[in-house]
Structure 1
Amino acid sequence: MSAIDHILPNQKLGLLTEWSAEDAGESALASWGWSLSNDPEAGRHWRPRARGVSTDAERGFRFRGRAAALQVIVDWITKTHDERRVLVVTGSPGVGKSAVLGRIVTTADAGMADALPSDDGAVRAPVGSVACAVHARGKTASEVAREIAAAASAQLPERIDDLAPHLRAALAGRDPAIIFSIVIDALDEAVTPREARTIMRRVAWPLAETCADLGVRVVVGTRRNDDEGSLLSTLGSDAVVVDLDTNEYFSEGDLVAYALATLQLLGDERPDNPYEDTHAAASTAEQIAIMSQGNFLVAGLVARAHGMHDHQQVPLEELSFTPTVAAALETYLQQLPEVDGVSAKDVLTALAYAETPGLPVDLWRIVIAALSGRAPAEQQLRSFARSSAANFLLETSTTPSPTSVFRLFHQALNDALLAGGSRNIAEDEAVIAEALMRHGRSAGWHSAPPYLLRSLPQHASRGGVVNSLLIDPQYVLHADLRRLVRAASAAATEEGRTLVRLLRKTPRALDVTPSIRVALLSLTETFDALGATYRTCDVPSPYRAVWSVLLPQQEETVLEGHTRPLTAVSTVRVGQRNLIATASEDHTVRIWDPETGEHLRTLISGAEPVSAMTALPIGGERDLLATAELGHDQKCWVVRVWEPESGALVRTIEEFTGQVSAIASVSNGDRTLLALVSDDHGVRIYDTESGTAVKAFNGHTDWVNAVASVIYDGRVFLATASDDGTVWVWDFESGDHLNTFSGHVGRVNAVTGVSSGDRMFLATAGDDETVRIWDLSTGANDYTLSGHTGPVNALVELSLGGRTFLATVSDDETVRIWDPVTWTLTAVLKGHAGWVNAISTVPAGDRTLIATGGADRTLHLWDPENRLHSQNKEGHIGAVHKVRAICTSSRTFIATASSDETVRLWDPETGQAVHVFDSVGHVRALSTVHTSHQTLLAITGGDSSTKLWDPETATQIFSLGSHVGAVNALAAVSLGGRTFLVTASSDNTVRIWDPETGDQVRSLEGHEAPVTALTTVSLGGHTFLVTASSDNTVRIWDPETGDQVRSLEGHEAPVTALTTVSLGGHTFLVTASSDNTVRIWDPETGDQVRTLHDRVSGVVDLATVQLGERTLLATACDDRTVRIWNCDSGRFLLDIPVRHEPKAIDAIQGLLFVGTTGGIIALSLASEMAGFDQQPYNG
């Protein structure tokens, strides 16, 4: 650098290498990365609020007082302390929360501090003491997190939970005495109530909790409540609250001073203002302050109206107003001029109906016209918005531009304009919604303003016209489905309710493009007989469902995402919503919205699966979530307590040496305790706040499997179920053992309380396939419920229509519902594909759903009062495990084989059944073989033989000889101008048969394990036979000589399927294996050309699909999807969710046929598939 200084002596570049950020001083360092002058919210929010005015265009400094609250905040952000909590500034609407925080933020800025009037004596924040200020109105938690990270020059977080570690990394090495203070205002006005809570729990609290040692301080401004309940309870004891409504932080002198400054329009004075003389105006200001009853917004409205319009001081005896925002606003608006013939009140009322973030001017005009009958000219409306009289009430989201969005600056103004008795809110919302719908349709929903796609459903729902949106497929394809589904939950017509079911059953449609959305909706329509709107609409899509014949689905919806069996299901309350938590052997806990089916977040547990889970009620409005798992050291069991909405880990309890099998919450007075049972034969009770054990219950002689608390007759009882075949009942308060229930044969898996009339029962479930009902008072086994055909694993009390029922789940794959009045079975719900071991009930709107999970890795939601949503035409009554396209001389069929021991032939275009082959046994393979005079259908059954049928007449022709093992695959091969049939068997051999005589022609031996798949390949004009085996190899044979030509090795597990594909005039082999790979081979050289990795699922079958000049590959995967690949590049194109586990696929004429555990599905693929936007496959 000295050499450079020598060359460029005047630039003094060497000084730069000697400078560090610390040289700028503590104040500059504290605000590193953020400054008020560069903050776009400075002019929209911070500066006007701090000055006591509404817009930056209005001159003057009118902020007064609030000394006590300001001093608490200043101390919080400047002093070193050990508080790992969030300082929350709250109060009622109009009390001045934003003004107080604006004062802190702006006085911490050197430029603003210098600009304060000389007589400004209010409390100030030290210059540089605010490192970052975020106005949360209309923002998401992710946006808030990124603003904070940018302020610290930290790496921008891709996930919200990355903010705290990124901030620690950026601040590491700094002197912790240098405070990094963060101010977040208007939390309650975040884009949604859910995002507000996410900001609180996943942004504000983790920063305060984990970064306090680096000088991070967090201050949040918010109302106490929003539409979903308490916001302060989101933090609970993790918050220190400054409530501006309390006497501790209110001084009437502050309000008098503010009213006086506003009366005088300080900084923006008008000539001849009768209140210019401070002494003369003081009494008026004092009277306004007294009558405003502590509300700064009311005082400001009243004082501003008098300051702007009075020509002489109003006599004190004539100064009269109702001390509400509504009354003060009404008086204020009466003095504003009309806007192009529309009253100012009507103009602003249109904004009172607006959803966050507000209305662009074109939509504002439409809403005004809908409410008043006249739309003001755009220019006059913009001029009104900029006027000093109106901008006191308005807030603009951007600097003036064609895209500006307008809203009322304070929620209290919205409330006031809509609270008047003269307005019919529902009628207004209906006309607003209809006007906005007309506008959206005329322009086309594909180009509609974002406001219409996001917020129109709320208007339509409140106006009772949401059906008009539901029946508009173009709107559904472009809308924010989360909002539409929630808003449409009260659809008034059967058509509307059907469409809501369609959307609820298609949770994958939430975050995809219209082209993918129409494809997904067409699937659900076909699966559940919910119409044909999306199967037939003209929106291009990569695929459509054509037809399906499936077993009836009784579920409301099936939610997918876990990759291992579920271990627990629990309902958790978050504000006014009920969410579902699922725990799995895949080491995760997932949180779901039952109304939309949306997967909200994933909680990553430790190194072992979660074995137990329960909700922990906190206060009256929210739950925490407790999970149990084996710790990292494989010795100690761990209970983690989570905040389910944010995903934040609240605390960890570690000390259990036994394996935890169940946990449950116990309400004991105003405390929520945690009961834990394990293989140590006992029950332990923990305080969830401190994590300490408070009591224990012992007595069982074997592993305890379940625990439940029951409140009856004012007492709390604890019930435990054990491998020792007994259920014990305890008095929770005294710890006394009250009773032992014996009767089950074998282990008892579950216990719960069930009320019936004025009696309380205990219901218990066991491995003996029974549910037993015990009188809690007497201990008598009053009833034994039989019907399950496997161990009963879990049960829950269920409330429907004001009555109580009992729901149970079992290894027999069913959910059963019992009436506790008669103790008879009222319903059997089928849909799971494996044992079911977890159940919970969840309120969803005005319905109660049942949530269940188990071996099939899915969460099933059932509406027990509306059980059958789909009943398709008659078909197989078992899984379809083989599918084959059959072309005869006269027509094409699709042949399917099922576990119901039938083979059916279908019309590929319509799905109509053509023939049924009864009593064919367990079919392992299907194929066609062309003889000299007809086409036959070859079917292999469970007796190791192969039978030939006439597909036109469904009659059997004859049977071929048998292998000594099951026949797994069939293929036809042409030799010497004739067609022969090839069979592959579990006896490790391949045999060639003459279909005309039934004679065996040749046997091919060489595989060292069962042969699983067959195909043929033409090379150099000669036909070869290709076989796949459980010995992990693929072999190529000359069928004329029986010689093995080549062996293809590379798979690391049994090869399950194979096919051929033609690319660029060359034929390749494609193989699928249990090693979760699909491999493409050159059969001439034996070289592996490409590997397609499907890391999350096994591939069970393959098919090539010819679409014009393009050849695609379809893979049937055991995660309930069919995936489509580009064979040339190996690129994944898209996945098709087929709801049931696919077992077989075949394709013909651009149609793809999928046999699944639920039946048969026909799909049409688009030739231009690669042009569609598909979310990336993360396999």
Structure 2
Amino acid sequence: MGDEGVMSASADAADAGRPAGAAQAAGAAQAAGAAEATGPAGQYAPHPYIGGRTAALRALAAWRMRWPGAPRVVVVTGSPGSGRSRLLAGFLMLCDPEYRKRLPLDDLDPATVPPDLPAPAVPDPRGRTSAQVLWLLADHLGLAATRTEDIFTELAAREEPVTVVVPDVDLAGPVRPANEPARLIRDVLTPLAATTTVRLLADVPRELAAELAAAAPGGQVQVIDLDEPEWADPEGLVLHAETALTPEAGAPDLPYTTDPDARRALAEALARRAGGSRLTVHLAVRSLFALPAPGDVDPADASHLPATVGEVLDLHARRLGAEPLTLRQMLAPLAFAEGDGLPVELWHPLASAVAGHDMGPAIAEGMLLAAPFIEPVEQAEPAETAETADTDGATGDGSGNGSGGRTLLRLAHPVLAAEVRSGLADARDAQTRIAMALLQAVPQQNWSLADPYVRDYLAAHTLDAGLLPQLLTDPGLFAHADPVTLRAAVEAVPLDQLGAPAHTYLRTAPLLTRSGAPAEMRAALLETAFVEDGLQPYADALHGLGFDLPWRTLWSLPLAGVVSVAPAFLLPQGEGEGGEGGGEATGGSRPVAALVVPAGTPGARPLPDSDTALLLHDLFRPGHLDADATRMRRPSEDEQAASPYGLSRGADYLRVWARESGEVVTALLSDTPFRDADLSPQGVLLVATERGVTARQITVPAPAPVPEPAPERRQAPLPAPSPEAGPEVVPTIPAQATGTAPAADAASQDRPQGVEGDHS
């Protein structure tokens, strides 16, 4: 992970939370020349982006300058919509060595301007898990730690303190219902606050602020609650409203925008009525400008001015002659939307699902009704979707748009989304209706054809509706869904509510997220994991979903302490005994896997002068073989050379390559360390890890196959074991998970998406 998610106090920090027209508003604030409430009139210009908050900026500048007595940890909190994100964004503008050159520093209060120091580390938590945020910070700082706990130890050992700013904690996490902000506080910010070499500034929701503040030793933490009188800044809120009403900020020419006195009176009334909420003021102004005939607004008439975000919605609907419930039903799908927003083509069906009737006419005729509260987002086509696009230009995202992108819709602020959800009669029922509608939108119950939003975020919607465990029986969903979002959703479910397939997914998910593998490789890794866990029907189902999997897992043996694995041939009884096991492979020779295991392993024969033993296992099917080592021989060099595949191994990976071309045909990562690996002439990959041994039949055709080996080198199909041909299979010691022989079950190609039927 690189530094792409670490903002060095740059303008990106501000732009992330900047509402439409903020650039013009910044210039308008300077042009307005409004006086600060904390100093003599006209003495200092307001911060061009914040437009106030002098007391808070002075406290943050003191923290940045490390003044004597200044706190080491600062927690900025406040009610939703109070302007926490805007405050930190404006402060980070002052901390960025390049961006601050664009600010009128000489006009600002000197006590609010921090010194020109190297930019702090600013790991962006938006959409990321707590682990991702922590490793993002570690990578940015160049730490050598390889374990989470070592990161804090290494930070504590630094001679020079490190400055870290974490904005937008409330937006952490790939999916909203998983409550990642609480985990980020517990697992990342609290340990950082307790590390004396870390100077920490964080923007935290009020319900989590006390927990973080308690982590730092006494006297080293300061809580800036923007709702408290010390930090509230009512005059700054008036300036914010007045600036938003100026034509220089993009306001239309209206009596209360062009006339300075009328503008000031309305700004004061809006700020007074909003009770300190910058978001309420911002949305109220957008609502006024969206009216077809704004007309006059009487600042003295409280019925014209909203006090809360909810009142903004209801007042706006009534001004347009609509029912407030209609507006909230229109916005409900966007209030529950995950990620960057909801695809525009899903808005109508999901709104209809929530309302219980067709919302198409309301949406088509009600854009003025919804416009002040909605923002479009242009999304680039996901790389995986682009790779699987049809030759006729279809993107596979369900939109039918082959241009390489599409439009998403989101609400203007997370607090607005929370207000819409809380205003519904039954939020869980609404989420259930949305989840069912998304499920019905999967074409032919085929996840490869599903809209990317449905594929990646259905788990989040079902989690919020309390239905996720029922969904986690579909191997197609496991393979196709974004592993970061699906893992976050599954981890939020209590373990005792998860079935066996979900447990397998959960233990495999770290490998899926770490590798960044595409859907086909995710399916291959899951196929092996299902065999390892004894869930053969789920492994078979993955082979029936249209994937070109690079292997088929033949069997898995849960066995600890394996020393080595190797392919071999077991000669018929009477051949090789008492000798060195030489001789040609004949039709009676049996391909086996030779496993060197700890002495005392059930079913294994001790090796002379060693504390290890030899366990022989059939190469192609489950079962142990009770035979003497003298009847075993390794493949000859000629037999190995005749194989179309070769094997190379690194510290944490295996690669299978075509011998003639040298091209890698598949690669393998493991969530546990490799102990040994080998490849048989028949293309069976034997892998030993801390978990045990697996055998995978490589199914990827070699790009340039070698000529057929000489007839005497070829192995005939294995006959059923007989007393003359070899020992009987002993399948019970130790217990093992079983796979399917190389000849695939033809019926598996027609299996439905779900192992236990249609779960989509």
| TM-score, with structure 2 as normaliser | 0.60
1:77 deviates by 0.9
2:662 corresponds to which residue? Answer: none
1:99 to 79, 82, 86: 86
1:349 corresponds to which residue? Answer: 332
1:232 to 206, 212, 236: 212
Aligned residues: 587
Distance 2:695 2:74 in 1: 53
Instruction: Give yes or no for contact 1:1153–1:1161 (8 Å, CA) kept in 2.
Output: no
Change (3 A) 1:533 1:365: same
1:459 deviates by 1.7
1:139 to 119, 128, 134: 128
Instruction: Give yes or no for contact 1:46–1:106 (8 Å, CA) kept in 2.
Output: no
SS at match of 1:455: helix
Distance 2:70 2:527 in 1: 52
Instruction: Give yes or no for contact 1:545–1:1161 (8 Å, CA) kept in 2.
Output: no
Distance 1:195 1:463 in 2: 17
For residue 527 of structure 2, what is the amino acid of its counterpart?
V
Distance 2:596 2:148 in 1: 48
SS at match of 1:1062: coil
Instruction: Give yes or no for contact 1:90–1:241 (8 Å, CA) kept in 2.
Output: yes
Change (3 A) 1:449 1:63: same
1:330 corresponds to which residue? Answer: 314
Instruction: Give yes or no for contact 1:360–1:403 (8 Å, CA) kept in 2.
Output: yes
Over alpha carbons, which structure has the higher Rg? 1
For residue 281 of structure 2, what is the amino acid of its counterpart?
A
1:446 corresponds to which residue? Answer: 448
Distance 1:482 1:185 in 2: 24
1:801 corresponds to which residue? Answer: none
1:1110 corresponds to which residue? Answer: 682
1:185 deviates by 0.9
Distance 1:346 1:291 in 2: 26
SS at match of 1:972: coil
Q: Check if 1:317 corresponds to 2:289.
A: no
Change (3 A) 1:265 1:143: farther
1:317 deviates by 3.4
Change (3 A) 1:431 1:265: farther
1:411 corresponds to which residue? Answer: 414
For residue 354 of structure 1, what is the amino acid of its counterpart?
A
Q: Check if 1:71 corresponds to 2:58.
A: yes
For residue 44 of structure 1, what is the amino acid of its counterpart?
A
Q: Check if 1:367 corresponds to 2:353.
A: no
Distance 2:227 2:553 in 1: 59
For residue 336 of structure 2, what is the amino acid of its counterpart?
Y
For residue 692 of structure 2, what is the amino acid of its counterpart?
T
Distance 2:26 2:353 in 1: 28
Instruction: Give yes or no for contact 2:447–2:480 (8 Å, CA) kept in 1.
Output: yes
| Runs of 5+ consecutive residues of structure 1 not aligned to the other structure | 1-32, 492-496, 549-559, 565-926, 929-970, 976-981, 983-1003, 1005-1013, 1033-1047, 1069-1093, 1128-1146, 1169-1179
Higher relative contact order (CA 8 A, sep 6+): 2
Distance 1:449 1:128 in 2: 48
Distance 1:1114 1:439 in 2: 41
For residue 973 of structure 1, what is the amino acid of its counterpart?
G
Instruction: Give yes or no for contact 1:224–1:231 (8 Å, CA) kept in 2.
Output: no
1:99 deviates by 1.6
Instruction: Give yes or no for contact 2:152–2:195 (8 Å, CA) kept in 1.
Output: yes
Distance 2:412 2:26 in 1: 7
1:539-558 alignment to 2 at 5 Å?
A: 542-543=551-552
Q: Give a deviation string over 1:278-324, Cα, whole Å, max 9, x none.
A: 43444443333333233222233334434665422415135455632
2:439 corresponds to which residue? Answer: 437
Q: Check if 1:90 corresponds to 2:90.
A: no
1:72 deviates by 0.9
Change (3 A) 1:42 1:388: farther
Q: Check if 1:1062 corresponds to 2:638.
A: no
Instruction: Give yes or no for contact 1:34–1:132 (8 Å, CA) kept in 2.
Output: yes
Q: Give a deviation string over 1:832-866, Cα, whole Å, max 9, x none.
A: xxxxxxxxxxxxxxxxxxxxxxxxxxxxxxxxxxx
1:1017 to 569, 577, 582: 582
1:134 deviates by 4.5
Change (3 A) 1:83 1:460: same
Distance 1:115 1:55 in 2: 11
SS at match of 1:93: coil
1:457 deviates by 1.9
1:394 to 375, 379, 383: 375
Change (3 A) 1:161 1:390: farther
Instruction: Give yes or no for contact 2:332–2:420 (8 Å, CA) kept in 1.
Output: yes
1:516 to 502, 522, 525: 525
1:235 deviates by 3.5
Distance 1:55 1:1061 in 2: 79
1:430 deviates by 3.1
Instruction: Give yes or no for contact 2:478–2:505 (8 Å, CA) kept in 1.
Output: no
For residue 232 of structure 1, what is the amino acid of its counterpart?
L
1:351 deviates by 1.3
Distance 2:488 2:730 in 1: 33
1:327 deviates by 1.6
SS at match of 2:441: helix
2:397 corresponds to which residue? Answer: none
- The structure carrying a bigger helix percent of its residues is 2
1:363 deviates by 4.3
Alignment RMSD: 5.9
1:248 deviates by 2.3
1:478 deviates by 2.8
1:300 corresponds to which residue? Answer: 282
Change (3 A) 1:49 1:346: same
1:64 deviates by 3.4
SS at match of 1:225: helix
Instruction: Give yes or no for contact 1:108–1:124 (8 Å, CA) kept in 2.
Output: no
Distance 1:330 1:76 in 2: 42
1:43 corresponds to which residue? Answer: 15
1:189 deviates by 1.1
Change (3 A) 1:365 1:345: same
- The structure carrying a bigger strand percent of its residues is 1
Instruction: Give yes or no for contact 2:122–2:164 (8 Å, CA) kept in 1.
Output: yes
1:352 deviates by 0.4
Instruction: Give yes or no for contact 1:469–1:476 (8 Å, CA) kept in 2.
Output: no
1:76 deviates by 0.5
2:430 corresponds to which residue? Answer: 428
Change (3 A) 1:531 1:1018: closer
Distance 2:451 2:210 in 1: 32
Q: Give a deviation string over 1:534-579, Cα, whole Å, max 9, x none.
A: 698776653457999xxxxxxxxxxx99x99xxxxxxxxxxxxxxx
1:190 corresponds to which residue? Answer: 172
Instruction: Give yes or no for contact 1:54–1:409 (8 Å, CA) kept in 2.
Output: no
Distance 1:545 1:1020 in 2: 22
SS at match of 1:219: strand
1:842-861 alignment to 2 at 5 Å?
A: none
Instruction: Give yes or no for contact 1:352–1:417 (8 Å, CA) kept in 2.
Output: yes
1:500 corresponds to which residue? Answer: 499
Change (3 A) 1:91 1:330: same
Instruction: Give yes or no for contact 2:686–2:693 (8 Å, CA) kept in 1.
Output: yes
Distance 1:231 1:49 in 2: 36
For residue 739 of structure 2, what is the amino acid of its counterpart?
L
1:246 deviates by 1.9
Change (3 A) 1:243 1:292: same
Q: Give a deviation string over 1:252-289, Cα, whole Å, max 9, x none.
A: 33333333333446622321332443434444433333
Instruction: Give yes or no for contact 1:1113–1:1125 (8 Å, CA) kept in 2.
Output: yes
Distance 1:34 1:1029 in 2: 52
| TM-score, with structure 1 as normaliser | 0.41
Q: Give a deviation string over 1:753-793, Cα, whole Å, max 9, x none.
A: xxxxxxxxxxxxxxxxxxxxxxxxxxxxxxxxxxxxxxxxx
SS at match of 1:446: helix
Instruction: Give yes or no for contact 2:526–2:539 (8 Å, CA) kept in 1.
Output: no
Distance 1:55 1:1165 in 2: 72
For residue 518 of structure 1, what is the amino acid of its counterpart?
E
Instruction: Give yes or no for contact 2:164–2:200 (8 Å, CA) kept in 1.
Output: yes
Instruction: Give yes or no for contact 2:297–2:304 (8 Å, CA) kept in 1.
Output: no
Distance 1:306 1:537 in 2: 53
